[in-house]
Every structure is written in structure tokens, then in C-alpha cells.
Chain A
């Protein structure tokens, strides 16, 4: 294996290692600590869940722009039901079901009606976002309306022991994110369902002519993406103990960016769930490290965007060289 192949295959990982090294060097006391890393995983848990769902549709070559507003809406739905006195399980169940249905609508629009995913999910983004404002009356639902058991979930975790006299725990949200990643990994990498999604992404016409039920699979895939977005919305609502009609808005672009970063790690440029997780970690570590170094948040945005561009550009450039 020559250096070019090595760089092509592991370039993004090497870049990630360099970023880690940079922060470790500049933040020797706080960056490479268990506490900071558990904190990072908790901060990233929502993005991880959404990006996992996004990976499912991007495997087919599609994407879903509505995940952010789906997340916001699910938080609002749960909040409104809490306020109306429904039990936690009912509110959470309805919110998740709503995400599933919203995703299914995306799936119908894309696969049965034949609207481009960009247009269909962009319209859904607007609709779901509007619905969140209508349901909430444009206000944040918080305070006594949110049951303590619900918000305590995000604060809880499995105790791991003590470091320096302070209790350290594996946050529940991190556990949820890991469980979702595992489920998506099984789905995409170990089942015929996942293989067929990759087949659709490889050549939709050939897949269809080989007996793959393209439309039904797309419908299911979009539904799962919607479900994951709703789940992330609930995690967010639990973490901040409130529901706001715009709180999921940052998730969509970051999720797509994470999948793209992950795709740079694949020879064929296909999304893989574990690569997506690395993509999420890169985004999260950058955010965490730059914040600790007190870099201005606007400059942070510029830096993160530039790094995404750099990774994707380097990857497509090295692939072009090979031809």
C-alpha cells in the first residue's frame, strides 16, 4: 500500500488524530480527561442519533432536510401533552409516533409520488417547523409543565466511580446514542434490509430490476430517519427540561456534515454508520476544544466549515487522481 492509498483511506482519521493532538497540547489539563469526554459524548448524543438516522437515507443516495424541525416538533408535542397532564410514556410515545409518521410522509413523497428528496423534505421542514410554532403558540414550554422524571433522565446515568473526589457517570443520553448507533449498525451492516439500501444507493435501476422493492424500502428508511429525529428531540427536551419550537434547528446541517465527513473515509464514498460516528466526533471535538480555548463562536463556525470543506475536497481530489 503506498502513501497515496494510505492517505485516501485514513486521511480523515489522521486529520482527527491531529485535531485531538492539537487540543491535547493546548489544553493539557482539561481536554484528555474522562470527565471532558463523557461530557462530549453527552453533548453529542442528540447529533449522533440524528446523524445515524440520516445515514440510513443517505445510504440510498437521498437525504432528509426535515430532521431538525422534526426534532423540534417532537419536543413540543411531548411538552404540550405533559402540560395537558398526560403520563410520560404516552407523551413520549405520541412524539415518537409523530416522527415516524412525518418520516413516512417524506418517504411517500419521495418514492411513491416521485418528488426529489431535496424539495420534498425542504417542504416538510417548513411544515413541521410551522406546526411546532402553532402547537406551542411560539412559546417555550418549561418549568412545572415538564415532569421531573422526564428531565431527570438526561441528568442521570450509570455511576462509574470517583475521580478526584467527584462522582463520574456514564450519562443516560450517551447510552441511548450508543444503543441507536448499535441498532443502525445491525440494520445497515447485518441485515438484508441494509444490503438492499446499499444496492439502491449503488444503482437504483439495477436494484429494482433485481427484485428490490425500492419504493417500500425508501418509505421505511425515511420513516426510521423521522423516528430518530423525534428521539433526538425528546433527548434534547429532557436535557434542557423544556421544549422550544426552534431547538432542533442546528441538527440537520450538522448531521449531513457528519455523514459527509464519514463518507470521506470510505473508498467508494458510501456512508457507513461507524464512519458517521467519527464524523460526529470530529464536529463535537472541534466544538468542545475551540470553546475551551475561548475561540469566538462565529470564528468557530468559520473554522468548522473550513475543516469540513478541506476533508471532503481532499477526499474527492485523491479519488480523481486515481482514475
Chain B
């Protein structure tokens, strides 16, 4: 009998299925890989296991007995431990307090916090990962991002006698870790397996997964496709299973090649953590920005958008000096931006669609720049909405009532509202369903055909390879190299992000 089995798990968001026909079994003493492209449904499945999302249907059993994971608390009681990609830390609290987040603090006499026990237990958890250089009493804010990740991981290894851990779910745990730190984590995971525990391991790094895991389950478009032993499967088979088709078909075909006219010339631009950076971008060209998280992608985009004060360098937009000191100046110069966090940075969810779309061009969409013309605005928004294939009940519908993909299309419509010369995209398809994704890719392509230059920041490597003409690889706050996207392998690109030589084929 398996330790954990999931059968017929289904979940839909506002009618859009995120999961259908999901079957997953995890044995005791097993490291099980969960594989799949972005948007395949892995994170929804993990959220169901974590008790954060309630499935529409599910048959979940532990040791053969049906269980109902109604809440994160219940998931914890069942022995599930999670390391989320976007698990937040509280910078103002100490390392030990962060490790104990959501857990009961050890008490002295049932009233006062026993700080000594708290710190000692936290230190124990850190030492399981072989970490001795982090003091549990330190403030979280003083730690490097890598060390913060280690602290987050070690919180899963906190020993809790009243709810012993049985399953560790790790979502891209090594994304911010060095090689050595990753190796240490793997040793711990192998020890857990030897002690009878289970691990569900999610990673895009195939080499890592193939070396570490016993079995793999592959997901695609919300369904589990296959489960097999790692020893029986080759690297290429795994990729084929994940993608389900040849890479490239998920993206609209490129049109005519970019013209030779330069849209953007950047010379030695430096801002915040961004080291002096130079590159050129032609009209109609899509330049991808790849790199590990925090390699400076966000800083580059924000500097180009006037949201980060420049330390130095210069830029030419269509041959004219371009030095934005605010987002307002950037819009005015013909630069548009689709931010990473659609809900917190892109949209006013409680306002109608047309107000969201016209906001950046309100001056032009009004009488003399001062008086509103709502009817003309709505017509303008409706026509832009049609351009981006927006599905809504009309321009007066509230942005917050739209699905994620359609919300992102509103953000795109706003970005396109002024016919920009340069479009800055930061993770434009994150959390967007497959159909809307293709629509968005098509919009981007159409715009480049009209001569718009695009900078596309993405952590989705197939997206970069499928969409871009060239890809700039960022490492440690600077562009390390710029490569041609055509014919580039996903592994090759990933290795370049890590700064390793491409593997010999």
C-alpha cells in the first residue's frame, strides 16, 4: 500500500479547468519528482496538498485511509511540510522566529516564550542542513537571499513530536542556492528517504531531478500523463512527455526579420544592483532576458522604465537621448511596461476595464487633456480590447471580475494604448492559462511586425526560446552574454544562466 495516493483530483477556477484527471501515488522512502511545464497544474496540485486550495473533486488517501485536507493546519497535522517558491519571510523577525512561523512557540510555564528552547530548536533544524554560519537570533533582513532560502528550507526540518513530518513537498528549492548548498540539501533528502520519509520534488532542472529522484510523475495541461521509474526513462523522453509536442508549436511563427534600424541603444546603464550594461535592440526585435531569479532582470527593466534612479550610462530611443526620471516620463517617450505582478502593480481591480486601459493615455483620451470623455474612452478601450482578444461583458466590467488571462490582456491593452516604440514585459504570461498565453504571444508578434521593439523578461525558458530573436543572459546584475535564440536548447540556456559551460552533447 502506498503512503499517499491521490485519485481523480479536479479543480477549476471560474470555469477554467486547472486540474483534471490527476493521479499521483507516493511511496514511503521515496523521492518523487513532479514534472511539467509552467501552467501544467503542478502548483495547483501542491496547493491542494497544502490545504490552501479546496479541490472540486478528489480521493486522497494516506496509508489507504481517506483523508480530507481542509486547511493548512490539517495538512501540517498529517505530516506534510512545504517549501514554496514564493513562501515569504518576515525580515524584521529573527531567523528562529521565521523558522517557527505558523508553529507554536515553546513556552515557559505556559505563558512566556522560552527563547532559549526556541533558538536551540531552530539551530537544530539549521544543523540538519549542515548550516552553522547562520545565528538563529540574527534578524532575517541581514541575511543574503541564498541564506534566507536556506532558512526557509530548514523550517521544514523543524522536529515536531506531536505532528511528525512524513512528506516534504519542495517547489524549486534550489533556485537560489549555490551548488554546494544544493548538494547539502540533497544529502538531507536522501537521509529522509533512508529514514522512511517521502519527498515530492518539483524542479525544472532535469539533471538534478534525474540524479536525485526515484520516480517521476509528469503533468501536462492539468492532467497527469505518466508515472515511471527514473532508471527506465531517458532525459529526452522526459522532455517529450512534459512538452507533449515539439517545442516551438506553442508559439506563433515569427514573421519577417527585424529591420536594421535601431530602436534602443543602451550604453553602460547602471542602477541599483544593475552593473553597467550595454546592448542594442532593433525595431521589430524581441530581446529576451534570462537569468536566475535576482540576477538583475527586474532592475534592468525598472531602470529603463524610470522607476530606478540611474547611477550612470545613457540610452538612445529611436536615436534620441532617453533618460526617464519617472514612469510618467517613460510613457511619454513611448515606452510601455507590463509589470510582473499583475494584481498589485498592473491593475486597479475595483475599477472598470476602460479606466484601466486608458489610464496611461488619459491626456490624449480626454478633452484638452483635462475633461473626461467616458464614451470615447469606452470606444477606445473596446477597440483595444478587441486587438488583444479580451473576453469581457463590456468596457464597464470591473477588472477584478476577469480571469487571470483576461486581466493580463487588459494590462497589455493599456501598454499598447499609446502605440509604444518599446514594450517592456516582465513575466507577461505568469499565471495565465494556456489559451490566453497563445493570444498574448500572438499580440507580441503582431506588435513587432509593426516595428515595436520588445524586451521580454521571463523565467520560462521555452517561452524565451520560442518567442525571442536574441536572449541576453544575466548573471550577478549584469548581462553576461547575448545569444541567438534560434536552435538554442533549454538545457544550454539554463546552464548559461548558471554560468556553466554548455554540456557536451
Q: How far is the CA of A238 from the CA of B347 in the complex (A)?
A: 46
Are B331 and A210 touching (Cβ within 8 A)?
A: yes
Q: How far is the CA of A199 from the CA of B414 in the complex (A)?
A: 14
Please indicate the chain A residues that have their CB under 8 angstroms from the CB of B307 in the complex. Answer: 209
Are B348 and A202 touching (Cβ within 8 A)?
A: yes
- Which residue of the partner chain, among A191, A193, A203, A212, contacts B328 with CB atoms under 8 Å? A212
Residue B13 at the chain A interface, CB threshold 8 Å: no
How far apart are A1's CB and chain B's nearest CB, in angstroms? 16
Smallest CB gap from A205: residue in B: B345
Q: Mark A79-103, 1 if CB is under 8 A from B, else 0.
A: 0000000000000000000000000
Smallest CB gap from B362: residue in A: A192
How far apart are B381's CB and chain A's nearest CB, in angstroms? 13
Residue B473 at the chain A interface, CB threshold 8 Å: no
How far apart are B395's CB and chain A's nearest CB, in angstroms? 14
The residues in A between 268 and 314 inclusive whose CB is less than 8 angstroms from any CB of B are 268, 270
Are A196 and B362 touching (Cβ within 8 A)?
A: yes
Question: For the complex, would chain B's binding face be called helix, strand, loop or mixed by DSSP majority?
Answer: mixed
Residue B351 at the chain A interface, CB threshold 8 Å: yes
How far apart are A158's CB and chain B's nearest CB, in angstroms? 30
Please indicate the chain B residues that have their CB under 8 angstroms from the CB of A212 in the complex. Answer: 328, 359
Residue B363 at the chain A interface, CB threshold 8 Å: yes
Given A195-B355, A268-B350, A270-B350, CB of A206 within 8 Å of CB of B371:
no
Please indicate the chain B residues that have their CB under 8 angstroms from the CB of A191 in the complex. Answer: 370-372
- Which residue of the partner chain, among B327, B350, B363, B366, contacts A208 with CB atoms under 8 Å? B327
Smallest CB gap from A198: residue in B: B351
Are A210 and B350 touching (Cβ within 8 A)?
A: no
Are B369 and A192 touching (Cβ within 8 A)?
A: yes
Residue A211 at the chain B interface, CB threshold 8 Å: yes
- Which residue of the partner chain, among B331, B337, B363, contacts A192 with CB atoms under 8 Å? B363
- Which residue of the partner chain, among A203, A209, A270, contacts B327 with CB atoms under 8 Å? A209
Are A206 and B328 touching (Cβ within 8 A)?
A: no
Please indicate the chain B residues that have their CB under 8 angstroms from the CB of A211 in the complex. Answer: 326-328, 330-332, 359-360
Residue B349 at the chain A interface, CB threshold 8 Å: yes
Residue A190 at the chain B interface, CB threshold 8 Å: yes
Interface size class of A (residues with CB under 8 A): 20 to 34
Interface size class of B (residues with CB under 8 A): 20 to 34
Please indicate the chain A residues that have their CB under 8 angstroms from the CB of B366 in the complex. Answer: 192
Residue A240 at the chain B interface, CB threshold 8 Å: no
Please indicate the chain B residues that have their CB under 8 angstroms from the CB of A207 in the complex. Answer: 348, 359
How far apart are B115's CB and chain A's nearest CB, in angstroms? 31
Q: How far is the CA of A271 from the CA of B332 in the complex (A)?
A: 30
Q: Mark B316-354, 1 if CB is under 8 A from A, else 0.
A: 000000000011101110000101000011111111000
Q: How far is the CA of A121 from the CA of B305 in the complex (A)?
A: 33
Q: How far is the CA of A198 from the CA of B352 in the complex (A)?
A: 11
Are B371 and A192 touching (Cβ within 8 A)?
A: yes
Q: How far is the CA of A210 from the CA of B216 in the complex (A)?
A: 44
Please indicate the chain A residues that have their CB under 8 angstroms from the CB of B328 in the complex. Answer: 211-213
Given A192-B363, A196-B362, CB of A209 within 8 Å of CB of B337:
yes
How far apart are A202's CB and chain B's nearest CB, in angstroms? 3
Q: How far is the CA of A189 from the CA of B307 in the complex (A)?
A: 29
Please indicate the chain A residues that have their CB under 8 angstroms from the CB of B370 in the complex. Answer: 191-193
How far apart are A252's CB and chain B's nearest CB, in angstroms? 26
The residues in A between 194 and 225 inclusive whose CB is less than 8 angstroms from any CB of B are 194-196, 198-199, 202-203, 205-213
Please indicate the chain A residues that have their CB under 8 angstroms from the CB of B326 in the complex. Answer: 211, 213
Which of B305, B344, B346, B348 is packed against the most chain A CB atoms within 10 Å?
B348
Please indicate the chain B residues that have their CB under 8 angstroms from the CB of A196 in the complex. Answer: 359, 362
How far apart are B23's CB and chain A's nearest CB, in angstroms? 32
Which 10 A-B pairs have CB atoms at the shortest separation, nearest pair first? A202-B348, A211-B331, A211-B328, A210-B359, A203-B348, A210-B360, A268-B350, A202-B351, A192-B362, A192-B366
Please name 15 pairs of A and B residues whose Cβ atoms are closer than 8 Å in the assembled complex, sorted by A.
A190-B372, A191-B372, A192-B370, A192-B372, A196-B359, A196-B362, A198-B355, A202-B355, A203-B347, A206-B339, A207-B359, A209-B327, A209-B337, A211-B327, A211-B330
Knowing that A190-B371, A198-B351 are A-B contacts, what are 5 other residue pairs whose CB atoms are under 8 Å apart, sorted by A's residue number?
A192-B369, A195-B359, A195-B362, A202-B355, A211-B360
